[in-house]
Amino acid sequence: MADIGVVIVGVGQVALQNHLTGIALSPRAKVVAICDSDQTALAAAGERAGVRLLFRDYHEAVNHPDVHAVIVATPNFTHPDIVRAAIDAKRHVLCEKPLALDYQTAVDLYSRAEQAGVRHMTAFTYRFVPAMRYMKHLVEQGAVGVPYHFRAQRFQDWQARPLGWRQVKKLAGSGEMGDMLSHRIDYAHLLVGRIGRLVAGLRNYIPQRGGEPSDVDDWVGILCEFESATSGVLESTKLATGRGEGLRGQDVVELNGDAGTIVYSTQRPFELRIGRRGDADLETVAVPREFWVWPGCPRDPDQGDPLATFRYDQGFEFIDAIVNNRRCRPGFEEGAEVQLVMDAAERSAHERAWVDLAPHRQTPLRQINSGGST
Ligand SMILES: NC(=O)c1ccc[n+]([C@@H]2O[C@H](COP(=O)([O-])OP(=O)(O)OC[C@H]3O[C@@H](n4cnc5c(N)ncnc54)[C@H](O)[C@@H]3O)[C@@H](O)[C@H]2O)c1
């Protein structure tokens, strides 16, 4: 029986691609309402989803009595106000990444959600990739031993195409860093824990896109030391000519430890490459079938494009956490921790200096966020 009514606020690309299908996976939930400030987008999505309750004002949408949970899928700068409205209405809330435009605000959202006793989740969708989940499992089993190096590369070829709100810093917060690297920062936390200090560079190479100013980073590189003493190198760019785009672009994470190496690529959702000490080369290892779908999720892993379908498990996790009255993973604390890193990267690039994160980490996150939670 579908007893959890969901409203999706913002029915653009990600809502149509991920959230509608994700919520449909749970028999306990139904998208009962849709909200978008754009009338054309609203009408089209309402028709596609077969939803009658259509709103242009998110206050009305989140307060409707049939709504119990809110998905925020609007441009980044709108996230905090919509999340606060959802929490004030005592609704559970799944917010797209980045959770906020600055750490202070992200912590505020976390604290409000905790105080209100609602479930809260940040949409770090790549945690649901089967190979990433298997990689995390193997790391916990000790497959790499003590981790020396974490490495993430997200390379795409977008050149000078217009990016809409994504190319405006006051609307997006940052460019490539919040758009793409935020997922990899979150995965780094999951695998090797919190970052202790970092130095970063952010570069804008294309100051105009579609005849409009673009003032965000097209490239970001972060060199960091985790609290565990693992080193990290994370790089993401929209200007890797010839690398392809979207699902076809380069998207690799590698972890090297004293016992082994694991490499995962999002393009190979059912494979890892693993090296052990003394091996001449990496061996390709299949991801066991039990990792192909999020635990408990009824999705058939043999249906659809595996580069897309893992994204639907996120909606299932949100609803499952509500139904079972447990924390969502990843929650707002994970969203805030990523924001802390992104704020530090901005500061580092501006000051051309290393930045220590601990002095900036606020209570309550200082105590509760281990960064390695699943
Ligand atoms: N988790 C992921 O893998 C992933 C992938 C893509 C996008 N995203 C995130 O999802 C969010 C949306 O991205 P998108 O690509 O779908 O954007 P989009 O521009 O395609 O869609 C955003 C929609 O929000 C609507 N909107 C804007 N302000 C609004 C308001 N105040 N109230 C209601 N509706 C409003 C717009 O009219 C538009 O229809 C962003 O935060 C982005 O970072 C996450």
91: domain range?
4-126
Please tell me whether residues 68 and 135 are part of one structural domain. no
Q: Whose CA is nearest to atom 29 of ligand 1?
A: 37
Helices (H) and strands (E) in the chain, counts: 14, 17
Q: Which of 126, 144, 175 is the last residue of a domain?
A: 126
Pairing of strands 208-209, 212-213: antiparallel
Rounded to whole angstroms, the Cα distance separating 73 from 92 reads 14
Q: Is residue 371 part of a domain?
A: no
Q: Is residue 322 part of a domain?
A: no
**Residues near ligand 1 (Cβ within 6 A):** 9-15, 35-38, 41, 58, 73-76, 78, 96-97, 123, 125, 164
Q: What is the pLDDT along the chain (374 residues), one digit of tens a residue?
A: 789 999 999 999 999 999 999 999 999 999 999 999 999 999 999 999 999 999 999 999 999 999 999 999 999 999 999 999 999 999 999 999 999 999 999 999 999 999 999 999 999 999 999 999 999 999 999 999 999 999 999 999 999 999 999 999 999 999 999 999 999 999 999 999 999 999 999 999 999 999 999 999 999 999 999 999 899 999 999 999 999 888 788 999 999 999 999 999 988 889 999 999 888 899 999 999 999 999 999 999 999 999 999 999 999 999 999 999 999 999 999 999 999 999 999 999 999 999 999 999 998 888 776 544 44
Please tell me whether residues 206 and 278 are part of one structural domain. yes
Q: Whose CA is nearest to atom 38 of ligand 1?
A: 12
From 77, 96, 122, give the residue whose CB has the most ligand 1 atoms within 8 Å, as the site to mutate.
96
Rounded to whole angstroms, the Cα distance separating 285 from 24 reads 32
In terms of pTM, does the model score above 0.75?
A: yes
Q: Which of 126, 154, 181 is the last residue of a domain?
A: 126
Residue 246 tokens read as: 């979207």
DSSP one-letter code for 359: G
Q: Is residue 278 part of a domain?
A: yes
CATH value at residue 16: 3.40.50.720
Rounded to whole angstroms, the Cα distance separating 10 from 259 reads 46
Please tell me whether residues 236 and 170 are part of one structural domain. yes
Q: Is residue 193 part of a domain?
A: yes
Please tell me whether residues 89 and 140 are part of one structural domain. no
CATH value at residue 216: 3.30.360.10
Q: Which atom of ligand 1 is nearest to the CA of 15?
A: 16
Q: Which of 83, 99, 126 is the last residue of a domain?
A: 126
